[in-house]
Chains A and B, each alone.
Chain A
Amino acid sequence: MYLVDRYKAHMDKISQDGMTFITPDGECRLTGFFTCERACELPVMDIVILMVKATQTDDVMESVMSCVGPETVLVSLQNGLGNDEALMKYVPADRIMYGSGVIGTELPAPGVCVSKPEAGIQMFFGASVKSAATDAAGKYMEECFNAGGCNASFEDDVRPYIWKKAIMNSGYNTVSTVLRLKVGEAMADEHGRGLITAVWKEGCAVARAAGIIDLWPLIEADTQNLIDNLGDYYPSMAQDSLIHQRQTEISVLNGAIVRYGERFGVPTPVNFALTEIILAIQGNYGRQYNKVKA
């Protein structure tokens, strides 16, 4: 396993002492990682997994391509929609896999990481276009994840999982951010819940037009679960926007729903308006009114 990141203190600590891995079951130390700061320091890999923010994919790929050979399978486990297509300009679709994890993660100190997995399937992935290469890579990853204690599933058709997660995120994540409210607070207000539901319904209509199963019943069934698990949190985009004041993942969430909507002829006005609002906000963090005035 080769880890690549610019966070030098983290890389150095892991390479010297191994990684402290904290899960609900306890803590362990994992050794045997090779670490470096740039992918161009690596030899050719069998599998390259991308976990940078979706908006940074193109920035890192130039360097990443130096460890990609003719047989290498590229895997995006990044959030959002369209990550598979973003990789198609670098390798053919039969060497691309994509998926996503349902795991809360933290990095409290260099060399230490925390996993807070949800119940059930915690990791799913599948091939863009199935081939011998993706089959081999997918089965190998599934085997390693499961042996490592992560309930992973190599799916024949990963799209319903990816889309359901992205659509749900586009609702509660984005709306919470615009409202500056926790998920539970947004869902408890009729207007907040109405807006989230409108985002979800547009997303499901786009997914249907894209030839994916009707996701609405799945999302509806998962709503109480969302409130129970995330109700008291600022979701990731709200953290990006309100707390850290950094670029959000809007372009691979609501922005991607809008783009796929255009492609398949499905109107997505609510996602469009929310995307515009977040784009206007994230270009102006330093100017935003953010104080309590007397």
Chain B
Amino acid sequence: MKIAMIGSGAAGSVFAAYLRKGGADITLVDPYKEHMDKIAKDGMKFTIYPDEVYHLTGFKTAYTADDIGTMDIVIFMTKANQLENAIQGAKPCVGPNTVLVSLINGLGNDDKLLKYYPASRCMIGSGVIGTALDGPGGCISTPSEGVIMNFGALENNDVTIAAGKHMEECYINGGCKAVFREDVLPFLWKKVVVNCTVNTVCAVTRLKIGEVEADPFGQKLFHDVIRECCAIANAKGVALDADEFIRVDHQHIIDHISDYYPSMAQDMLWKKYRTEIDTLNGAISDYGKQFGIPTPTCDVLSTVVRCIQNNYANQYVDGTRK
């Protein structure tokens, strides 16, 4: 099967490297010319942290999807806010049986695919892998323990199952523990609810997960976010029970990664990056307005984060009065 990776930055390159290592026929598409040219000429240096280094060859590369021919599978790995443009730009390589896949983190990617293609040809998923570029022509994977790639079809049929099985096989052969799930939406929603909860509350309070949980008001904030997210998930047709989520899934996070600043807190507190707020609590807020479901905690937290990420340079820091 021919697979295109639309968006081959850090995450796209790593996700494609595992597939190529597992034998997939891969075309990388990215406007980052030096990266594309280097891979086309010399192959890709693929590092799996800490000590595996592979030299992968046989990639096809292109700056756009205009002339790469019709693909069997098109995977999108752009930033979430660029996904719609990428879907439009990828039209030349999409035939009547092509399966469209988003492996982008966060909410709403399925809705964007569904604006252009039927559910019978769409898949979504996400990876739990730290990724970085290693100069033009290289990329580094820092995988978590256990299953690190999950995906599934919005509608299971011959076409999506064939694509999903093929991706699963290539990933596993390439050394990436991947699962093609029959019912991927509840799985992805749970991940999103975890992220909306610990990421955002820890970022705004500037505390680690366990420190928030240990404070009665912090724990209340966690639970408020969980309840709002579960209400939205239910409205989207995904059954998630807030009490059970708090008892099982949230508790699992508390038990395992309490001494930790989640990624959004890292983005906000020291990396000073733009956060993923728009596809997490911001998306919950948007769905809340769409469905008429109150999501006040997510509304306030996402507004706070959006304002802070516009004002990193102005923020009061470290006892130094500006």
Contact = CB atoms under 8 A, between A and B. Distances in A.
Interface of A: 178-182, 185-186, 189, 191-192, 194-195, 234, 238, 242-243, 269-270, 272-274, 276-277, 279-281, 283-284, 287-293
B220 interface: yes
A280 B205 contact: yes
Given A178-B204, A180-B317, 14 more contacts: A179-B307, A180-B315, A191-B307, A192-B307, A195-B300, A195-B307, A272-B296, A274-B300, A276-B221, A277-B304, A280-B221, A287-B207, A288-B206, A290-B206
Interface in B210-249: 211-212, 215, 217-218, 220-221, 224
A216 B319 CA distance: 36
Contacts, number: 113
Contact of A276 (B224, B299, B321): B224
Interface in B279-322: 294, 296-297, 299-301, 303-304, 306-308, 310-311, 314-319, 321-322
B261 interface: yes
Contacts of B319: 243, 290
Contact of B296 (A179, A192, A269): A269
A191 B269 CA distance: 19
B113 interface: no
B278 to A, nearest CB: 12
Contacts of B299: 269-270, 273
A181 to B, nearest CB: 6
Contacts of B315: 179-181
Given A179-B307, A284-B215, A277 B270 contact: no
A284 B218 contact: yes
Considering residues A191, A195, A291, which has the most beta carbons from chain B within 10 angstroms of its beta carbon? A191
Contacts of B301: 273, 277
B306 A280 contact: no
A290 B261 CA distance: 13
B306 A191 contact: yes
